[in-house]
Amino acid sequence: MKPLLVVRDLVTEIGVARVVDGVSFHVVAGETYALLGESGCGKSMTALSLMRLLPDGGRIASGDVRLGETDVLALPERDMRRVRGGRMAMVFQEPMLALNPVLKVGDQIGETLALHQDLGGQAARDAARALLDAVGVPDAARRLDTYPFELSGGLRQRVMIAMALAGEPGLLIADEPTTALDVTIQAQVLDVLRRLRAERRMGMLLITHDLGVVAENADRVGVMYAGELVEEGARDAFFATPQHPYSRMLFEALPRPGDGGRLATIAGQVPRLDGTLRGCRFAPRCPFAIARCRTEPPGWQDFGGQRVRCHLVGTLPAGSVRERVPHIVAEHVPQPLLQVEGLKVHFPIRRGFIQRTVGHVRAVDDVSLAIEAGRTLALVGESGCGKTTVGKALLRLIEPAAGTIVLGGETVTAKNASTLRRQAQMVFQDPFSSLNPRMRVMDILLEGMDALGVGAAVARRDAVTRLLRQVGLPDDAGGRYPHAFSGGQRQRIAIARALAVSPRLVICDEPTSALDVSVQAQILNLLKDLQGELGLAYLFITHNLAVVEYLAHDVAVMYLGRIVEQGPAAGVLRAPRHPYTQALVSAVPRIEPQIGQGVIRLAGDQPSPLDPPTGCPFHPRCPQAGAVCRQTYPGQTELGGGHWVRCHWVAGQA
């Protein structure tokens, strides 16, 4: 079959940096080609080069890009506008940044329809509604008149897909289309893409760093590193026997079910591309590198149906490259370090000139949990279920409406919250936003120590230096600003800041959600090591269930402000009982196929906490719901071993 897209020896430069260096691949109509690799490897720049949407200072230095018979790089910009969005379209990673915040959804789709299909007026509106229906947006007619900020993340991504399809493209480029989405919403979006690809016989270029997404969606895989493709092959062959050391180490960095050993990490970082690179670009980080690797760039070699750019193809030792280190479990006492009972956080809704309260958003509605010293409780659920609000309420960063919080045997109140804050600290999701960009790292860490009077003033700088080494940062890190570090290093700084005041409890709010799998492995290893050394307790807030099984001892599953299932991590994740937990677990992308286990599709979106459903809050989306579920909130059903669930169906009442 003749390829739909052919890319040969593509070279893209930004200033003096060669961010895409000699990349060649092709995409056939009806297939998905996945580009896999860490951030900074050139995946997105490759896609932007194909669309000719490079940032300022960027240029395509050489190469050939053909879409069918069209030479894309030779087109004048006027003709390229017809190709871009018409024959070739792109779904961007962050829809809130890609969508115009001041234009309604219908108007934005209408712009594409006017340009590529010459539609306007009612015809364009009807076509836009049909596109929203096609991508699974509920109540499509009403959504046409909403603004992007009024939609959930999953719905915004579907609107982006609808806009991309408005020009009826033959090639769809999806750049990390599900990175920031919950697993249930991610499964829905990927289902939409798979269905549309099959119905329209589109070719798809899928850019991602998630091996599970690649395993479930790609036909062929290309692995990028430092601007180059280093391995390419059919999906099944690639997942059976990855040949390049970089590919193997990406697999080793994944948390595996039931594996409590240390995760393999890739030392160092992707090299800077603005200098002279000698030999294999992965050699400085490769555990198998020989002298030849550091001086001679490897060429392509065919091996077992795969193409690999490596001198050592076929000679790598069999088995795992994972370093095995015995896991040290801190001793813990039976008395919980943190005990929470009946926690509620209700946000008032005020309207009118005098701001009269007309209702409440029940963000957290009667949550109880306990964490012992040296143990990790994972709080999981979709975005908007109240997980982060729970974490902030525990530190009194948000004032709860009701409930008791006991930390270290002392009840936390508004009066003593600042004093007890030394015992509990928080690591936020985005370290770049939570670190002061105008302060050096040393000053960031000293700030909390000074405010809470930790240690003698003369000894604090030495303590910070030791702490930076403890979290794996270089000796000169204290004198640098946050922008001088990578994402993984900034997260280490955020962890160091939390540890600077010697807390007993650390609340981690999605600390690895935006990190590549290799950097994620480094942070998870660090958190586990620190727990073993210091006996820390963690409340780990996340929607990544693979991370949960690796790090957590216990799991609490949250839905619409309430915990619906809780128990030991192994029991909850391997034998989930609540229908919502079952859907979450089934939606996790996996590199190993789960025989006989399909993805459970949930209908609709999570209801608004402003007006939650009566009875069980999950019943509008639950495939098992009966009459009693619509009327009565379920009680707690004990399943043994500390595992319990709130569900009429499990209790045998539905």
Per-residue pLDDT reduced to its tens digit, 458-472: 788 888 998 898 888
pTM comes to 0.69
Instruction: Place 234 in a pLDDT band, splitting at 50, 70 and 90.
Output: very high
Place of tokens 């619906």: 564
Average pLDDT, stretch 465-489? Answer: 87
Predicted pLDDT of residue 305:
82
The CATH architecture that domain 374-401+416-423+503-651 belongs to is: 3-Layer(aba) Sandwich (3.40)
Query: What are the start-end ranges of the H helices in 33-88?
Result: 43-51, 77-83
Q: For residue 373, give both structure tokens.
A: 């010293």
Strand, coil or helix: 553: coil
Cβ pair 338, 542 in contact under 8 A: no
Predicted pLDDT of residue 594:
59
Per-residue pLDDT reduced to its tens digit, 361-415: 889 999 999 999 999 999 999 888 889 999 999 988 899 999 999 998 888 888 8
Instruction: Place 72 in a pLDDT band, splitting at 50, 70 and 90.
Output: very high
**One-letter amino acid identity for 499?**
L
Place of tokens 């525990």: 394
Question: Over 70: is that where the pLDDT of 596 sits?
Answer: no
Question: If you average pLDDT over each of 175-184, 257-266, 336-345, which comes out highest?
Answer: 336-345
Helix H or strand E segment including 534: helix 517-534
Predicted pLDDT of residue 430:
79
Question: If you average pLDDT over each of 229-233, 345-349, 420-424, 527-531, which comes out highest?
Answer: 229-233
For CA atoms 492, 497, 501, 504, give the dihedral sign.
negative
Predicted pLDDT of residue 330:
35
Question: Over 50: is that where the pLDDT of 546 sits?
Answer: yes
Residue 419 or residue 501, greater confidence: 501
Question: Over 50: is that where the pLDDT of 324 sits?
Answer: no
Predicted pLDDT of residue 335:
67
Number of DSSP helices (H) and strands (E) in the chain, helices first: 24, 24
Predicted pLDDT of residue 278:
87
Per-residue pLDDT reduced to its tens digit, 549-588: 889 999 999 999 999 999 999 999 999 999 999 999 988 8
Helix H or strand E segment including 370: strand 356-371
Please state, rounded to an integer, the average pLDDT across all residues of the chain. Answer: 87
Question: Over 70: is that where the pLDDT of 326 sits?
Answer: no
Question: Over 80: is that where the pLDDT of 307 sits?
Answer: yes
Q: For residue 391, give both structure tokens.
A: 């974490």
Query: What are the start-end ranges of the H helices in 137-280?
Result: 140-143, 153-165, 183-200, 211-217, 235-240, 245-252
Predicted pLDDT of residue 331:
39
The lowest-confidence range among 21-30, 428-437, 441-450, 567-576 is 428-437
Question: What whole-number percentage of the chain has pLDDT above 70?
Answer: 94
Give, in order, the Cα–Cα distances in Å from 556 to each of 40, 182, 563, 587: 35, 16, 6, 17
Per-residue pLDDT reduced to its tens digit, 568-578: 999 999 999 99
b/e string for 234-247 if b means 16 or more Cβ within 10 A? ebebbbeebbbbbb
Per-residue pLDDT reduced to its tens digit, 113-170: 998 888 999 999 999 999 998 887 888 898 999 998 888 777 888 898 889 889 889 9
Instruction: Place 591 in a pLDDT band, splitting at 50, 70 and 90.
Output: confident
Give DSSP secondary structure letters for 84-106: BTTTEEEE-S-HHHHS-TTS-HH
May I ask the CATH class of domain 1-75+208-326?
alpha beta
> How many CB atoms are closer than 10 A to CB 362?
22
- By residue count, the chain amounts to 654
Predicted pLDDT of residue 593:
62
Residue 653 or residue 27, greater confidence: 27
Place of tokens 């409406």: 401
Instruction: Place 321 in a pLDDT band, splitting at 50, 70 and 90.
Output: very low
Closest CA to 493 of 431, 451, 567: 431
Do domains 1-75+208-326 and 374-401+416-423+503-651 share one topology? The answer is yes
Instruction: Place 202 in a pLDDT band, splitting at 50, 70 and 90.
Output: very high
Predicted pLDDT of residue 264:
73
Q: Hey, where are the domains in the chain?
A: 1-75+208-326, 374-401+416-423+503-651
Predicted pLDDT of residue 526:
87
Percent helix, strand, coil in the chain (nearest 5)? Answer: 35, 25, 40
